[in-house]
């Protein structure tokens, strides 16, 4: 008689418990969702691109230099000599990596200097730097450990994942709709002793629109909830290097301000700016901070210098001049341009037409990606443009002209 151990052994021999990743990749390709890595020669307003080389080194060869209207390097500081010198100097004096968690031996003077400057820019008592904006969102939401999170429907994936990992009840309210938020809160028991957290981006990366933060704060205060705002796409491009929270005068009403160092500040990492007790709590309980090697000192130095330039230089003015020039030019051609910020989405609608337009733009020397479902809702495919402060007036004019020629080909 065959015993159970033998049966299990024969079953194990017949069963493949691995992962058919090729089938998954083929499925994404069939749905038009497969993407390639596209190596870029430099992080600037112009660069050469290479085909995805797989495991090999990219070959740029004789490929034409393209104008890049798809980067989050909004102020063009990633190749600024002052930022590069700051990173190089700190690499020489402190080291290229932090070497350990900030709670062990990875807490250096440049980390502290950057955090002081961020707190000053954001108008808070303290700031805390994480290894990425993603880590900052996930670590902060889980460390706060709310009972209920009220999350804008278009929030970034890092917020969504932070909400899921927190094990909180998640209530998604309609995008940029403070009335929907109020209705969602009113539906819950008025005498509830739950802890409530409202989380929203300030500038939304796909639509270029802005959350109604004042109205959100009004609703949150009515019900005693905390407000957390992710200023990833806003930090550095508004007055004094702040974001929408500062522009709207809401610093004292937003409990947690979060952002990234990898966009306008041209480095790597994320941060939280808040009261002393919030920062103390996060530095002890945010797992993505506690159990991660500290941000590299050169990245911290680069971000600090970039923040100083953003606060004191003319880059912000140059950026907004280019934004206005680009919006005006596209609208004069009859394009439907969304948003009100430095992110300039051109609504096309049909996925195939958006992809074709992006191809025509690339043939004209413009890198501007087509954004399609599931990143955006069905029927709202678009070209997402992100001008930089370092684009010239002629660059912007060439971009607008490329749209005009591409539209004629469709």
The whole-model pTM stands at 0.93
Q: Model confidence at 29, in pLDDT bands (50, 70, 90)?
A: confident
CATH number at residue 352: 3.90.1150.10
Mark whether 205 is an active-site residue: yes
Shared domain for 232 and 306, answered yes or no, is yes
Question: Please, what is the average pLDDT of the chain?
Answer: 94
Shared domain for 355 and 208, answered yes or no, is no
Residue 2 has pLDDT above 60, yes or no: no
Shared domain for 338 and 293, answered yes or no, is no
Shared domain for 91 and 39, answered yes or no, is no
CATH number at residue 295: 3.40.640.10
pLDDT of residue 316: 96
Number of domains composing the chain: 2
Residue 1 has pLDDT above 60, yes or no: no
Mark whether 342 is an active-site residue: no
Query: Active site residue: 122, 263, 360, 391, which one?
Result: 263
Which residue has better confidence, 317 or 30?
Answer: 317
Shared domain for 308 and 176, answered yes or no, is yes
Shared domain for 88 and 111, answered yes or no, is yes
Query: Active site residue: 205, 262, 292, 296, which one?
Result: 205
Distance CA 129, CA 132 (A): 8
Q: What are phi and psi of 386, to 5 degrees?
A: -135, 90
Domain containing 286 equals 81-312
Query: Last residue of some domain: 257, 280, 312?
Result: 312
Shared domain for 193 and 270, answered yes or no, is yes
Shared domain for 56 and 157, answered yes or no, is no
Query: Last residue of some domain: 312, 342, 373?
Result: 312
Q: What are phi and psi of 391, to 5 degrees?
A: -70, 140
DSSP string, 334-397: T-EE--SSS-EEEEEESHHHHHHHHHHHHHTTEE--EE-TTSS-TT-EEEEEB--TT--HHHHH
Mark whether 283 is an active-site residue: no
Query: Active site residue: 111, 122, 156, 233, which one?
Result: 233
Query: Last residue of some domain: 279, 312, 345?
Result: 312
Shared domain for 204 and 119, answered yes or no, is yes
- Check if the beta carbon of residue 194 is closer than 8 Å to that of residue 229: no
């Amino acid at each position: 008689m065959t015993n159970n151990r033998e049966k299990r052994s024969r079953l194990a021999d017949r069963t493949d418990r691995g992962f058919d990743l090729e089938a998954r990749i083929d499925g994404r390709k069939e749905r038009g969702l497969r993407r390639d890595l596209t190596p870029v020669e430099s992080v600037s307003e112009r660069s050469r691109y290479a085909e995805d080389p797989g495991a090999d080194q990219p070959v740029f060869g004789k490929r034409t230099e393209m104008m890049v209207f798809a980067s989050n390097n909004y102020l063009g500081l990633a190749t600024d000599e002052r930022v590069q010198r700051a990173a190089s100097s700190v690499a020489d004096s402190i080291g290229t990596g932090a070497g350990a968690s900030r709670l062990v031996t990875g807490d250096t003077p440049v980390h502290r200097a950057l955090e002081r400057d961020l707190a000053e820019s954001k108008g808070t008592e303290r700031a805390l730097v994480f290894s990425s904006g993603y880590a900052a969102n996930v670590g902060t939401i889980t460390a706060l450990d709310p009972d209920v999170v009220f999350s804008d429907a278009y929030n970034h994936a890092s917020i969504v994942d932070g909400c899921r990992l927190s094990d909180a009840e998640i209530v998604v309210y309609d995008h940029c709709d403070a009335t929907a938020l109020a209705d969602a809160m009113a539906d819950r028991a008025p005498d509830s002793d739950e802890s409530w957290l409202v989380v929203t981006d300030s500038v939304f990366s796909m639509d270029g629109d802005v959350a109604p933060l004042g109205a959100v704060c009004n609703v949150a205060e009515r019900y005693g909830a905390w407000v957390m705002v992710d200023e990833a796409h806003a930090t550095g491009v508004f007055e004094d290097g702040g974001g929408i929270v500062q522009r709207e005068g809401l610093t004292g009403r937003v409990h947690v301000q979060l952002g990234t160092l990898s966009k306008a500040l041209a480095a790597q990492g994320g941060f939280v700016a808040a009261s002393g007790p919030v920062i103390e709590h996060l530095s002890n309980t945010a797992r993505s901070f506690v159990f991660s090697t500290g941000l590299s000192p050169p990245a911290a130095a680069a971000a600090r210098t970039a923040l100083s330039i953003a606060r004191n230089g003319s880059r912000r003015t140059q950026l907004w001049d280019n934004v206005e020039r680009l919006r005006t030019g596209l609208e004069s051609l009859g394009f439907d341009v969304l948003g009100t910020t430095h992110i300039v989405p051109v609504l096309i609608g049909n996925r195939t037409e958006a992809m074709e337009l992006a191809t025509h733009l690339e043939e004209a020397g413009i890198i501007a990606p087509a954004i399609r479902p599931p990143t955006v809702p069905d029927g709202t495919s678009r070209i997402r443009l992100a001008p930089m402060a370092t684009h010239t007036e002629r660059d912007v004019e060439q971009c607008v002209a490329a749209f005009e020629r591409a539209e004629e080909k469709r």
